[in-house]
Every structure is written in C-alpha cells, then in structure tokens.
Structure 1
Amino acid sequence: MTTHAKTPVDPAPSVPVGGAVGRPVDRRDGHAKVTGAARFSAEHHYPDLTYATMVHATIARGTITAIDTAAAVAVPGVVAVLTHLNAPRIRPVRKGNIVRDLGPSVSGTEVNYLNTDQVFWDGQPIAVVVAQTSVAANEAAPLVTVTYREQQARVDFAAEQHNATPAKGDLTFAGTKKKGDAEAALATAQVSVDLRYTTPGLQHNTIEPHATIAVWSGDHLTVHDTTQSTDASHKYLAWRFGVPAAQVRVRAEFVGGAFGGKFAVWPGTVIAAMAAKAVGRPVRLALSRKAVSRAAGGRTASTNRIALGATRDGRLTALIQDSITHVGSVGGLLEATSSPARHLYGAKNMLTRQNLVEMDLLPNTWLRAPGEAIGSFVLESAMDELAYELAMDPIDLRMRNEPATDPTSGKKFSQRMLREAFEAGAERFGWADRNPSPRSMRDGEWLVGMGAATAYHPVLRLVADVKVRLSNDGTALVQCGFHEMGMAAATVQAQIAADALGIAYEKVRVEYGDSDLPPGPMAGNSNQTATVATSVLAACAELTRKVTALARKTGTTGQEPAATLRAAHTPFLEASVGSTSRLGSLRSQGRFLATFLKDQRWSKAARGAQFCEVRVNADTGELRISRWLGMFDVGHIINPKTAASQLRGSIVMGIGMAMSEQTLVDPRNGRTMSAGLDSYYLPVHADIPPIDVAWLNEPDKSMPLGIIGLGEVGMTGVAAAIANAVYHATGRRIRDLPISLDKTL
C-alpha cells in the first residue's frame, strides 16, 4: 500500500501581503506537470500490480448466450478473465436524489456491469482481462468470443426523431417554457425567419484518457481515478460494493482534463474495483482512446427548429425553439439547448421546448457548456440571419433586444453588462471597418468575413466543506476535496485565503483531490471557484475572529497573526466549514438549499461577446480563422493569467465544435465509427489564430468576491460567430455543424 501523499506544491513567487487576489500568479501545479513530478491516476505504483483491458459488446441490443474465454485465459501472463458468469456480485445502480445524496446518482449508466447478460449499446463492457502485463491483457482481450441473441435496436437518430417526447426537466431547468402566444406572434410578424439547425454528437478527448487503479485491503478500497468529483465517486463506490463510505478513498490529485466527461462514474472505474476484488491484487485499468469513445459518454446530437419574428425596426415579437436530443435506454442527460434562448433577448412572446428520444446508444453526458454550446450556435446564428433580413447590423439587433429583467422569469439580473462587452469588443476588434454586404471583402484569393455572437452560461453554486489551519510559523493550510484539472484551482484558492488571513501568498499551502479531505464540489458547471471560495472566506473569517480574541488576551493586537499564536504558546488555530458527521451532512444539505434559494432570487450568468474574422479560399473553399476576440462579463477576476488561459481554451474547444469535430455513428448498427484520434478530428495549433481575450472585471455583488465562473462561457457563441463570419465572407449560410469543406465550396 502507498502512504498518504501530499499534493506537490511548487515554490510560489513573492506577492505583497493583501495583494494576492487580482494578480497574474503562476499556477502552482505547473512545475510538477512539466517536469513529470505530478503523478496522474494510472501512474501510481503498488506491489503485485496487475493490468486490465475491457472487452466490448459488438451489438447494440440483445442477450449474451455464450461467452468463451479459454483462448484468452491461455495467453501467458493472464491472471483472470471476468464475465457475468464469474465476476463478483455487486449492488445494482441506485437512482439517488441529487439534493439528498449525490453519490448514487452519478452513475454514467444504469447497467450492472459484468453482473448481467443484457447488452444495451455497442461498446458496452461485457468482460475484463486481468494480466501480469498490459501487453498480455491487450493480446488476450480480442480472443474472448461472444455469441448473442440480437434484438432490434434504435440507433439511427434521424429515423427515431418522430418518437421524441417532451422532456420533464430537472431542479434548475424546465422542459418547456412559454410566455404569450409565440406561434401566433410569429404568424403576424412583419419580418420573420423559421429555420432548422443540427449539431452532431461530440466525444471527449482529454489529454489524459479515463484510468483507474483499484486496491483492496480487506474491506477498505483505495481508488486512484480520473474523476472530477471525488466525493460523489467514493459514495457511489461504497454503495455498489456494500461497504461504509469511510472505507472507500478516491484520490485524484491531478486530472489531465475532464470537461464534464469525468464527473459521472463510468464502467472502467467499477470494473477495475471488481477485478481487484476478484484477483486479490491491485488492478490498473487505463482506457485506450477507442475504449473511451465506446464506454464513456459524450455530447448528444441535436435537431433544432428556431423561429424569430420581429418588427421592421428589429424588436423581437416572437422567439420559438424546439429541440430534439437523445439519451440512452440506460441513462443520459437532458441537454439544455434552449437555455440561451430563454435568457438572452427580450422577445414579447416565447416558446421553448425540449424533446428527448430514447435510443440504444451509449448514454450522453456533460461536455463543456452542455446545452449552452449547442443553444448559442442555434440562437446566435438565427439572430444573424434575422439581422440580414432586416438589413440591420447584427450587434445593433442584439442591443435593441436587451431586456431590463430576465425574459422568462422576470427576475432582476445580479449583473448584466452585455451591452458594455459588445461596445468594448466592437471597438477593439474594428467591427466598424466591416462592409456589411456578404462576399464584399477580399484579400487576393481569400474571401474575408467577420462574425459576432453572444456568449452565455448560467451561474451555479454548490457547497464545499473546508478546513483552514493557521500555524505559529506564519503558514496556513487549506484543505478541501476540490479538483485540479488544469484551471489553477489550488492557486486561486491560495490567493483568496492569503488575502482573507492577511498573510503572504507563498505562506499558504492547499491540499485537494482526495475524498479523505473535507468534501468539495464537483468541478463542473463553472461552479468550483465560487463554491469553494464561499467556504474558504467563511473559515478564514472565523479564524480571524479567533486570532483577534487571542490577541486581546496576549496584548498583541495589531501584530501579525503568527506573533499572536506564539505569544499564546499556541501551535495553531483551526476553523472548519461543514463536517462529515451525519449532522454535518444534514447541515451541508441545508447550506446547499439556502445558497440555492438565495441565488434563485436573481438571474445570474456569465456573458460575453465573441468576434471572429475568417478567410475562405474562393477556389478551394479552404476555411481559416484569421482573428479572434472574446470580450467577457465574468465578474471579478482572481487571477488574470489563469483566467485568460481558461477562456482561450474554451474558445479553442468551440472552434473544434464548429469546424471539425463529430461523432460518427453507423445508423445500421449503432457502432461509433470515430472512436479514436485517427477518425475524430480535433483542431491543431495550425488551425487556431491568435486569440485575444479581455474582460470588464466588474464584480457581481451577489457572489463571493464578485466571482462568476468562466470555465465554460468561452465556448458558447464560438460556433455561431464562425458560421456568421463564413456567411459574411461567402454568402453561404451553414446551419449544420461541423463547417466542413463541402459546405464552403
């Protein structure tokens, strides 16, 4: 067994006391990552470690009637081959209440892996080979032969859309939203557009594929996992394996990207723990790129009808969006594609409907800016089309429809500076130099176009338990099981704690990424920084009160905190927010509900203005993005350096969505045909222009330190800005992503 290892912390640059927040401080994990000192989930070492490879189903729906493992078992080095016939029995998936008990509700699917003979999608893991080496495991896995009794499967999204039914919605998002009579208003509108847009499914391709090392010591389970929710994962595994949650530890000190794909618990994590229990040895299960695409969900495809009606002076009288997305027959999530349409523009009459079709495909899951990435492409493209119908500047049309309050809920905005973002962005980008006529700007053989779009992502806060310790040597320790996936989470929390305690930034150490620490939130929905900051600030305030009281007793008022502790012969003081006791858990649920209800008084969101310039070769149709500017209204920026990196990374993902990425599914059998980087095309460095990002840096007064999450807003509006620029350059309107070469010719 390995011992409890602290997260590596690099020496930090000197920052003036009280001046850490708002400074471009280097990421604390940077040195460890670039030098190889950081250990990711598959890189931990245990005695007698074995290696596992999953075997995937080759049909979309049916029953396993026979499974022959003899050839696989005969491969030298193979320790075991587990199937539904001999794998350990574990509890089936339990559908939990996401407010009461997050753990059981985070399963990627409802399948009881290796405990059932039923197949629910092509690619479902149905066996696992455990061997002394990864070479042996990979050699043996294809030798497992399976016989099936196939059933008719629903795998063709286009053919199944007529079976779509209205979505029920969830805690924060209603399936249908209506204001006035939008269809009647559309029919009588002076100017209107009624359009259809489609987007393909998208796959996760993070730098670090999904991987797990599972180790049993009696009834105690330790898991190194590529998760972005250690707390939910350890509760989930405890339930599945029937052990107390205190006996399961999930560690994820470093995660090489996730973007939503590592929040749910996918088959590899469960099967690794099953295999380790069966063979009585540690098991490492690292998924190949193809295995990730077949066993871990991505973004759903979508079909969208959007219709806009307006007066001749550009006032919206009707806004309609009808969306169809799919889920799996054994799980999947509602993709809130109509989210931007509900909150961005002040149409008098609105109707947005979410519809779902159930299919025998791998269940979909979160992928950066779920819902808003698709919805912003649809809405912002349609707004551009309406602007041309009105012979109006596209930005002017947006500004004419800026609402005073939220268009659907009527709530006041906690902050909304979209007009200022567009004004500042247009000036910085040179929008006024644009000739508004399509195909009117040219540079030699290149047609030049400029496009704009609104970026939008809602604000969410969850709850975090935090412990802060202040020592008499002048250092502080912050402990919280939050996650570091490359966004400098530990860096910004150290900056916040340093200023809150009135000590130097380099004196603050942060521990994270471990379910043994006070539970942190999932790293998703752009919530983590504000959520953890809320608790860090509360703990630091309590510590400050304790130090102040102690200073009065010791006569050290006005001196640095460490001097007070030394005068009192006190080695350290601690303050905590939350606890893992049953009472503490109930209080955490109460804190969540109180925070949720408080935040629901306002309409909160990150917003921005995306500006794009493209060049399209008049002869070949080759598309190149030549310039980019994102101007954002994202509250108070804690660390400008890491914030700029987050926004640029989001924009790059949006460029991939717009220009090349698509999950190709064979409509005959449901097999993912783009399962690997050889057939799923991500943008490379040559595809990306210099990306200029800027922000207004105006704090949202309803949030801790004025923070608004910004990890996802940068992806929204990107695809629309590109498509709008392509239309301006070529006169060709693209309504179906990706914008491939055949569509620009």
Structure 2
Amino acid sequence: MTTTTGTRYVGSALDRVDSLEKVTGQARYAYEYSPRDLVYAVPVQATIARGEIVDVAVDAVLKQPGVIAAIWHANAPRLAPCDDAELALLQSRRVAYRGQYIAVVVAETYEDAREAAGLLRVEYAQEEHDVVLRPDHPRMYRPDHVNPDLRADTERGDPDTALATAPVHVDATYSTPAEHHNPIEPHATVAVWDSEGLTLHDSTQGASALRRVVAPLFGMPPAQVRVISPYVGGGFGSKIDVHPHVVLAALAAKQVGRPVKLAVTRRQMFAVTGYRTPTVQRVRLGAERDGRLIAITHDAYEQSSTLAEFAEQAAAASRTMYAAPHRRTTHRLVRLDVPTPTYMRAPGEAPGMFALESAMDELAIACGVDPVELRVRNEPATDPDTGLPFSSRNLVACLREGARRFGWAARDPEPGTRRRGRLLVGTGVAASTYPVYRAPSSASARAEPDGWFTVRIAAADIGTGSRTILTQIAADALRTSPELVRMEIGDSALPKAPVAGGSMGSASWGTAVVRACEALMEELERRGGVVPPTGVESSADTTKEVREEAKFARHAYGAQFAEVGVDPDTGETRVLRLLGVFAAGRILNPKTARSQFIGGMTMGLSMALLEESIMDREFGDYLNRDLAQYHIAANADVRDIEAVWLEEEDPHLNPMGAKGIGEIGIVGTAAAVANAVHHATGIRIRDLPIRLDKLVR
C-alpha cells in the first residue's frame, strides 16, 4: 500500500473526477436505464382544480395498439396510508389540484402510451376552487413549525411600542411569485420489481431518503427497496422530496408485472414536482436617526396545498441577521387548491432576504446613511435570536471587501441622476446568509490489495461536484492521492446519507468519510500496513458526533453588489456588473466553488428580473409551463459576474471546516438588483420580478 503525507488535496482546484464520463456520454442518468421486457408509462392529469372523478372511460384506450393497461383509482393497487397525501396515487376519486395525476397508461412503446393517454376521457363533478394567495385569506393559519423544523413565530422585547416611538421607521410590503425549478434533466423513474423487492432508477437528491419514504407505501421494509442514482442532471431542491411520478412508476410496474419507465415532461413538472411558494411579506424597521436598529418585525404569508403542508421559513433570516433589542417574526400559511410547494435553492432565505435587504436599503435612504455602513452599524455581537456565540461571522469583512472591489466609495447616493448613453445607471448592495447544517451520515472505507481505496456512501451528485469533493476529502484522510480513491455514491445500498440540499451535503457526507477513513488508517497501522488479499474495511456513523456538537450559531455570509442599466423609455433592465464576496469557511475546491457561487448569483438575477409562474385564476393552473414562456437568465443577461471568497478558518464546523456554498449565492442577489434599480431610476420595486411595465411611468 502506497501513501503520501506531504500533499493536501482539499482546497485545491482538482478537475472533476467524473468529467470524462459526462462529456463522452458514459454517465447514465435515470431515464437511460432500459431493463429487459421494459414498458412505458404516461400519466393522465386532472383538468379541473377541485372536485371528484365521476367516470373514467377506458374502453377506447385499451383497444389502442400496444396498450397493456390503464390504471386509475378503481383498479389501482392499494397503497399503505402515509402522512403525505400527495403520494396516495390513484387511491381516491378526489381531485386536489389541476394537473394532479389521476390515471396512467402503460404500453409497449412511449409513443403508444402517449397516444392512448391522450384518448382517456374523464368525467368530473367540478367544485369551485381557490388558488390565490392573499394575506387576508380567512383560512390563513399559523403552522406548528416552518422548515427545517424551526419555530413559526418568535418575539423578543416590545416591538410594537419600539416601532411606534422610533425616530425613523420603514413599513413596506414585498412579494415574490411562485417560481418553478427547471433542471436540465427532467424527473424520471424506471421501476423494476423482482423476487428481492423493488429497484428504482431515479433522478433524486437523496437515495436513502427516497427508499425510506417509498418502502412503507408498498408495505415493505426499506431493505427491500433499492434506489440507484449515480448521476443527477440538476435539482435545485426539486429532487429532494419524493414526488408522485416515483410512486406512479412503482405502482404501474407492480400492476403489469414488468419494468416501467416514466418520464415527467417539462410541462408536467410545473404541476407535480414542486415549486417555490409565492410570498407576501411585511417588514417594519424602527431605527435611531443614525440607522441603528431598535426594532424589526417580519411577517410572511405563504401557500401550500390541501394535500400536504409545506411551510417555508421566509422570515427566519431576520431573526439572526442584525442587532435590534425588539423583534418579532411570524409565518402564516393558507392551504389552497394548488400543487404542494417544495424546496427551491435557498428555501426561505432567498425570498425572505429579498424583503429584509430591500427594507434595509429603504432605511438607509430614510436615515441618509450609506447602505454598506448601515449594515455595519447593525452588526450583532452574538446571535440575536438565540444568544449563542457565532462560530464565525465575517459579514462586515465581506461588505468591506466587496465595497473595495466594486468601487463603492465613489457612489453618489442620489437616485435617478446618472446616465450612460441612453441608460439610467445605478448600483445596489445586499447581504447574504445561509445557516450551516450537518446531518448524521454513514460511510465505509476499504483498502484493496491492489493499492486502491474504495469509499462508499449514498451521497448524491446533482452536478455540483460532490463526487470530486468527497474524493479529495478521502484522499487527505487516507494520506494518498485522489487517483487511488474509488468513490461510490448514488445508491441506497451504500451506507445511508442525507439528501443533497440545504448546503449540508459536503459537511455531512464529508464528516462520515473522514471518520471512516481515519478508522481504516488506524486499522492498517495496527496491521503494520499489510493489506490481505481480501482487503481491509472500516466504517463510521456520525449520529453521535452531530448530535453532541457544541452549541454555536453557525452561518455562512456574503455581500452582493450589482450595477444595472435601465432604459427609461422601455423599462428594459440589464445587470451590467454583479459581484459576490463570501465567507463560507474553508473552500474545498475553488473550481467547483466558483461554479456554485456564480450559478447561484445567476439564479438570483433570474429571480430579480425574469422568473414568474403566473396562475390562471379561472382554471387554477399555471399559464407559462415551458421554457419558452417561463423566462430564466441566458448568457446575454450575465454580462460581468464575479465571485470571490475570504479565507475563513472556523474550528466549530466539521473536520473539513466547510460551511456549504450551494445556497448562499442566490441569497441577496435579487435585493441587490432591486436596490440598484431604485438607485438608477428612483422607482422602488417591491414585487418581483422587475418587469418592464413596473418601470415605465
């Protein structure tokens, strides 16, 4: 066995270890698995938003060429009850939202299944639906908690009195629309039943979690379900939860006794794979005349479906971001006749910080204080919500470094006065934050007799480079080179791991990998470095370590700076420059990190100017359900974007010292753009996206 001790690979810009497979087409995604005797399933979606199915006319469908089965609530296999009614596929005649899966047609070819599914006729007893979020909705209620198991409401001091007596105050309402994920790889599942149970080839952000949910639905122990997902073509949170298509594929395969392939079309994704809830948020700030905050209140209103509760933590960042002795945050939810929302990049923080950071910009103007300086003046010494010390907090350093790089000192604060050709030009700033999470995980490490090491963990690589990062982490822990490490991920048969989400993947999986590799190295040392022909293997579970970690407030921070140009005649807005400066612990791989940061910032640019899912109130469905009408940023929209980070050592995190970076890039970006638009035009946009019609007066 050969090991080295001098070279450290964590922190180096290692090329992706799976790059060859990806660029040559060798990487196999979920839909590309084609077992023998495969058939195809095409779902049928409800065309009403609320009501009951009266009749399903299947006779014509069953006569179509190649059709094997038409499955609906009257003939579908029974599923076990579960907490998420969204997954009770074909178990009831009730329709909870337009686009809900109400039947599925299985045929020998995809073309035959699609043709037959289009012929299925369904008769409904339609009921009046309610699909519009409004803060004064009579069914608005306080949820028991918001994601990820946080208190729905918090209060300290006497915020109402403090606001009433504050020398300066801001009271504004901000809104964000529903937004839909559009990963390059749409959701897909291949379901195979055999004597050992169920195998699912699925595009998922968490193989272990998917197995844990699906198994009881079919009355099986988790060991009888295997989820295989070595490559995932993007997720952005939409592939964390188990969505109906997974259950539908498994149900159809069980019914027909053959492997079933089911792909969710891009149009179907707008109904059945989740979205970011729209929000209405009221933020009130009370401050001294020098801008020092006295009180903060942040009230968030959101929607979920009648089938399941999903409550996003939109106001949570306001609990910890700035010092103020009086503070209150609330979340209210209404369950409508709509699909169930889900996680979307930086859930909670992305819409919540748009509201808070826009309000901070309004406060800076009201106080006559520079927006960067205002944030610095309100820097807390400890976490305002819990009183805990910060493990590290370098927000001020990010603001100062960003201001230096961006040339902020030369900024004229007066809005609507600078022109460049025909454009009005303005600059804006906003802070970013995202909590640091770490979940229990397991891993195994094995020394092979040929000198290689095999490390196994059921982690997911959703395009972020997890396989590469984990290889670097393992190489350092094993004191060897990455070329001698085989990293096996994306399979629920491997040691269990949490989902790729919440910026906790590398921290959670990496801890388990380090501990497994350390245990292996100890065993090899005990053996004098001799590896027998059968190899040597060690494993680790981090449950105890994670649960007993010291109490700190752990967060990543950043500062976003934007320069925009607005055509005063047409309202067209272009982001001319975008700079993000981040403090996110140790950066494990600069190459993959830059990709994550600028990817998040680009998504934030889309959030500010383009992304909006528009509800049709009459039919209860989203009008823009494809990439022709759901607009996202393209190359021409990202003219000059730069992401940098500070060197930050934080010993209170995990063995790698990493905070996670998948989410924080998007946080604050939309507010920075909106603040820059106000600086350019003097028009304050509080409702995203910033469309042309909102700027033409």
Aligned to 1:694: 644
- Counterpart CA distance in 2 for 1:185 and 1:596 is 38
Deviation at 1:154, TM superposition (A): 1.9
Q: Aligned pair 1:572/2:535, yes or no?
A: yes
CA shift digits 1:524-562 (9 cap, x unpaired): 1111100011111111221221222222xxxxxxxxxxx
Deviation at 1:668, TM superposition (A): 2.5
Aligned to 1:280: 257
Deviation at 1:640, TM superposition (A): 0.5
Of the candidates 90, 94, 102, which is equivalent to residue 118 of structure 1?
94
- Counterpart CA distance in 2 for 1:134 and 1:626 is 45
Amino acid at match of 1:577: A
Aligned to 2:676: 725
Of the candidates 577, 589, 592, which is equivalent to residue 642 of structure 1?
592
Deviation at 1:153, TM superposition (A): 2.2
**RMSD value over aligned CA atoms?**
1.6
Aligned residues: percent identity?
43
- Counterpart CA distance in 2 for 1:166 and 1:88 is 36
Report how many aligned residue pairs link the two structures.
692
CA shift digits 1:61-118 (9 cap, x unpaired): 111111101222222111111111111122122x3xxxxxxxxxxx5x4451112111
Q: 1:576 to 1:219 in 2, by over 3 A?
A: closer
Deviation at 1:219, TM superposition (A): 5.2
CA shift digits 1:481-515 (9 cap, x unpaired): 00011111111111111111111121111000001
Of the candidates 167, 170, 173, which is equivalent to residue 143 of structure 2?
167
Residue 163 of structure 1: SS of its match in structure 2? coil
Aligned to 1:502: 479
Amino acid at match of 2:669: V
Q: Aligned pair 1:146/2:146, yes or no?
A: no
Q: Aligned pair 1:716/2:667, yes or no?
A: yes
Amino acid at match of 1:35: T
Amino acid at match of 1:133: T
Amino acid at match of 2:632: L
Q: 1:643 to 1:709 in 2, by over 3 A?
A: same
In the TM superposition, what are the counterparts of 1:93-492 in structure 2 within 5 Å? Answer: 93=82, 95=83, 107=84, 109-158=85-134, 161-169=137-145, 172-218=149-195, 220-492=197-469
Amino acid at match of 1:124: Q
- Counterpart CA distance in 2 for 1:201 and 1:395 is 30
CA shift digits 1:336-359 (9 cap, x unpaired): 001221111001110111111111
The answer to whether the 8 A contact 1:17-1:503 is kept is no
- Counterpart CA distance in 2 for 1:369 and 1:338 is 13
- Counterpart CA distance in 1 for 2:672 and 2:506 is 28
The answer to whether the 8 A contact 1:470-1:572 is kept is yes
- Counterpart CA distance in 1 for 2:588 and 2:91 is 48
- Counterpart CA distance in 1 for 2:695 and 2:511 is 48
Aligned to 1:617: 567
Of the candidates 615, 631, 634, which is equivalent to residue 681 of structure 1?
631
Write out the 4+ residue segments of structure 1 that deviate beyond 6 Å after TM superposition: none
The answer to whether the 8 A contact 1:446-1:617 is kept is yes
- Counterpart CA distance in 2 for 1:360 and 1:674 is 18
Residue 432 of structure 2: SS of its match in structure 1? strand
Q: TM-score, normalised on structure 2? A: 0.97
Q: Aligned pair 1:18/2:7, yes or no?
A: yes
Moved more, 663-672 or 609-618: 663-672
- Counterpart CA distance in 2 for 1:620 and 1:740 is 10
Of the candidates 35, 40, 53, which is equivalent to residue 24 of structure 2?
35
**Structure 1: segments with no counterpart, 5+ residues:** 1-13, 96-106, 552-563, 579-587
The answer to whether the 8 A contact 1:456-1:713 is kept is yes
Aligned to 1:88: 77
Deviation at 1:15, TM superposition (A): 11
The answer to whether the 8 A contact 2:86-2:244 is kept is no
CA shift digits 1:280-309 (9 cap, x unpaired): 111110011111111111111111110101
Moved more, 411-420 or 658-667: 658-667
The answer to whether the 8 A contact 1:723-1:739 is kept is yes
The answer to whether the 8 A contact 1:425-1:611 is kept is yes
Aligned to 2:515: 538
- Counterpart CA distance in 1 for 2:181 and 2:533 is 50
- Counterpart CA distance in 2 for 1:271 and 1:497 is 38
- Counterpart CA distance in 1 for 2:161 and 2:294 is 10
**Structure 2: segments with no counterpart, 5+ residues:** none
Deviation at 1:598, TM superposition (A): 2.4
Residue 615 of structure 2: SS of its match in structure 1? coil
Residue 447 of structure 2: SS of its match in structure 1? strand
- Counterpart CA distance in 2 for 1:146 and 1:87 is 16
Amino acid at match of 2:250: A
The answer to whether the 8 A contact 1:474-1:503 is kept is no
In the TM superposition, what are the counterparts of 1:648-667 in structure 2 within 5 Å? Answer: 648-667=598-617
